[in-house]
Amino acid sequence: MNSAREGLSQPIHENMYQGSAAWLPVIVLAVGGLTDALYFTFAYYGRIRKARWVPEVLCAREGSSCVTVVQTPYARVFGVPNSVLGILYYVAVIVWAAEYPGSALGQAFFAIFTDTLIAMAADSVMLAGYLIYALRRKLGVDCPFCYTAHAINAALLVLLIVARW
């Protein structure tokens, strides 16, 4: 009885990422993505104006390409800012990473949670192709923060898939 109970709380792939230090890349990427999403959310709602605390090369100035990008139709999915969806996703990934090594959620629920995050990451990576196309071809701008978010999402997709199987 005791071993059956222990089996439910084991990670999906017991040999993957043994120890908490192995989760560092997932957490670092998710925190980086969360920071990026928060920045764009503030920009979307007009809270980034002459932000001297961010170097100019990182698009902090009003009128810069990155701040301008959030004012286009490409900055929203079904009317919701992409960055707000990103905040929800990155928080979910952080919760997942914190819970993974010894999930108390139960293996079946945790597998569904993982699969949901994989689907969200895959959707994000597919959408990234279109968004990068729109940035370069339709808007004619570069956006380092946008590219960073897309790279983080691709890396997280790979790590989630590896952890799942």
Q: Using alpha carbons, select from 156, 153, 155 the residue that is nearest to residue 114.
A: 156
Q: pLDDT tens digit string along 95-136? A: 888 776 565 556 677 778 888 899 999 999 998 999 899 888
Q: Do the bridges between strand 80-81 and strand 76-77 make them parallel or antiparallel, or are there none, so unpaired?
A: antiparallel
Task: Give the pLDDT of residue 85.
Answer: 92
Q: How confident is the model at residue 17 (pLDDT cuts 50, 70, 90)?
A: very low
Q: How confident is the model at residue 154 (pLDDT cuts 50, 70, 90)?
A: very high
Burial 18-36 (b: 16+ CB within 10 A, else e): eeeeebeebeebbebbbeb
Q: pLDDT tens digit string along 35-93? A: 989 988 888 887 766 555 555 555 545 555 666 787 788 888 888 888 999 999 999 99
Report the alpha-carbon distance of residue 9 to residue 99 in Å, rounded.
10
Q: What's the CATH superfamily of 29-164? A: VKOR domain (1.20.1440.130)
Sorted by sequence, the CB contacts under 8 Å of residue 53 that are 6+ apart come out as 60
Domain boundaries, the chain: 29-164
